[in-house]
Amino acid sequence: MKRKRCSFLALLVLAVMLLMPATTQAAAKPGTVKLSSIKATDYNKINIKWKKVSGATNYIVYYKKAGSGKWIKVKTLDNTKSSYTHTSSSKYPIVVGQKYTYTVKAYNKKTKKSGSYNKKGLTTRTVPQTVKLISAKANNGKVDVTWNKAGGADKYVLFYKIQTSEFTTNWTKVITLDSSVTSYTVKYPFKNTTNIYTVKSYNSASNVYGKYDNNGISVFVTDGNTGGNNNDKDDVGDDITPTPAPVNAEAMASEVIRLTNIERAKAGRSALIYNASLQRGAMMRAKEISIKFSHERPNGESFTTILNECGAGHISGENIAAGQKSPELAVKAWMNSQGHKLTMLNKENLYIGVGFYQDNDGRYYWVQNFADGNPDEKGTVIFDANGGSGGHTYVIPCGQRIYFKNVPIPQKSGYTFVCWVSEYNETNLTSTCAGRVTQTFYAKWASNN
């Protein structure tokens, strides 16, 4: 009877074991953690995320320098967590710019077993904080730029660009400063122009830059040593310091032409031909843009008018630049700007003139003027008095515009001048451009009787 009872108990125990879930039959280990994402949230913080797995009472976060073999345990978390932000500490440091790899293991403290883990892990690095710009204020012809400190930076790099009604230049480096400095006075800003400034944070040990405010902070500087200010806003070289010694303008211009033709050759374009008339006009334009940095002249006229005045026609384009310290840097700046590059490499352009000017502050100004036909070619425009007196004939560069209001009014006894009429009897005309074909316009008269 006793033996039967024991056999029955044994069968009962076996039946219970067969009905028990597999997880309780043996000390099964947790599943493998699937990593979701990694992100540097600040210069000293990295966040790692993962998917939860069954059988875990805890998650253990590990990290190491990318490429290193040894994982270092950073943190043990309970099973309600699926994300962890590692903040740099003396025990578990995060060095700005250094790449780090993270992984996560699932752990069951009851069975004392860990799950498998992603041996490759996820990798990222931190960068210096973005610099927050404070202000840019014009002060006696200079500009004072200030900003807040940025974590993870041991250098700040100040940049500027110029904005006109027609275009905005690319960012150009002004100076690199130590991280203890959070303000700088720009001694030679561009006058009568909107100057825009931004600052990049930089870590020299790891050679990494932080993000920066691409909008920058702007200030308009007038020629009268005063200007407005704009408060409450957010690569490496030297300050824009003037070079007082005079520079050979023709030599500078010749080098720009040479470098321009090198770039055109790379693009499969024909070499541009130097033209003296274009060059004279370009030299005058270089001085003009030191007064008004624009394709519009200081007197409000188009840049083409001064080229026409210098005898050059068939004008097809202009590039301008300011602040670059050499022909190489000027051409590089144009090549780095899509619009300027297209103008410089335009296959329709055949001739070139280059202007260079150094102002009293030692700042350099550069101009390229282009023509798509022979600049020395002239066109004839005849204003026939048609029976009266005082007609005029103009032999001027092709493409030069004549405004009829500027043509002297002819005289005819007993008649009043009405307007100029084209050969095709067109009236209400206000202007015309000289071309290869001679144009004639006739005076239209109204009888006084």
Query: What domains sit in the chain, N to C, each tagged with a CATH number?
Result: 34-126 (2.60.40.10), 132-221 (2.60.40.10), 249-371 (3.40.33.10), 378-447 (2.60.40)
Return the closest-CA partner of residue 282 out of 371, 193, 346.
371
Mean pLDDT, rounded, for 111-119: 94
- Six-digit token pair at 273? 């031909």
pLDDT bucket at 422, cuts 50 / 70 / 90: very high
pLDDT bucket at 173, cuts 50 / 70 / 90: confident
CA–CA gap between residue 253 and residue 330 (Å, rounded):
11
The reported pLDDT for the residue numbered 108 is 96
Q: Give the residue carrying structure tokens 């909107």.
A: 194
Residues 97-109 as b or e (16 or more Cβ within 10 Å = b): beebbbbbbbbbe
Mean pLDDT, rounded, for 224-231: 42
Condensed to tens digits (0 to 9), the pLDDT of residues 234-270 reads: 223 334 443 446 679 999 999 999 999 999 999 999 9
The reported pLDDT for the residue numbered 166 is 74
pLDDT bucket at 72, cuts 50 / 70 / 90: very high
Condensed to tens digits (0 to 9), the pLDDT of residues 362-390 reads: 889 999 999 999 999 999 999 999 999 99
Residue-averaged pLDDT of the chain = 89
**Segment holding 14, helix H or strand E:** helix 2-19
Residue 283 confidence (pLDDT) above 70 = yes
> Nearest 5°: phi and psi at 176?
-105, 130
